[in-house]
Amino acid sequence: MKKLIDLLKALLADEVTMKFCAHGFHWNVEGIEFSQFHDLFGEIYEDVDSSIDPTAEDIRKLDAYAPFTLTDFVNLRTVQCSPVKPEPLAMAKELLKVNDGLLVSLNKVFAEATKVNEQGIANFAAERIDKHEKWRWQLKATLK
C-alpha cells in the first residue's frame, strides 16, 4: 500500500499545482480573447479544485496522513507551472504541459490501485483521467 499512498500524495501535490496554475492564469489573462480564456481557465481550476478533497480522502482511507503544507506540495509534486506572460495562448500552452504531467500521475495511481485491488481509488482515477483528457483536447484545439 505504501507505493499507492506515495503516488496519491504526489497526485495531490500535482492537483494543487495545476489548480493554482489555472487559477493564476484565470486572474491574469489579458488580451482581445480575455473573456473566452478567463472562462476556460476558470472551468479548469474549479474542476481540478473539486478533485483535491477526494484525493486527500483516499489517502486517509489508506490510513495515511494527507500532506497539506505548501512546502509538502512543492516537495511532492511531479509537475511545475512556469510563469508566462499574460497572453492567452502562452498560458494555454503552459497549462497543457501541466495537464499532461497530471495525466501521468493519474495513470500511475490507476495502475497501482488496480494492482492492489483498491477499486474505488482506481475508479476515481479513471474518472479524473477522462476529465483531464477532455481538458487536453480542449487546450490542444485552442492552440491550433
Supply the pLDDT for residue 141: 97
144 residues of the chain, pLDDT tens digit each: 999 999 999 999 999 999 999 999 999 999 999 999 999 999 999 999 999 999 999 999 999 999 999 999 999 999 999 999 999 999 999 999 999 999 999 999 999 999 999 999 999 999 999 999 999 999 999 999
Measuring CA to CA, which residue among 6, 8, 25 is closest to residue 135? 25
Task: Answer whether 0.85 is exceeded by the pTM.
Answer: yes
Residue 76's pLDDT is what?
98
Q: What is the pLDDT of residue 64?
A: 98
- Which grid cell is 66? 494527507
User: Where do the H-state alpha helices sit in the chain?
Assistant: 2-28, 34-61, 70-76, 88-115, 119-143
What domains does the chain contain, in order, with CATH numbers? Answer: 2-143 (1.20.1260.10)
Q: Return the pLDDT at 61.
A: 97
Q: Which pLDDT belongs to residue 125?
A: 98
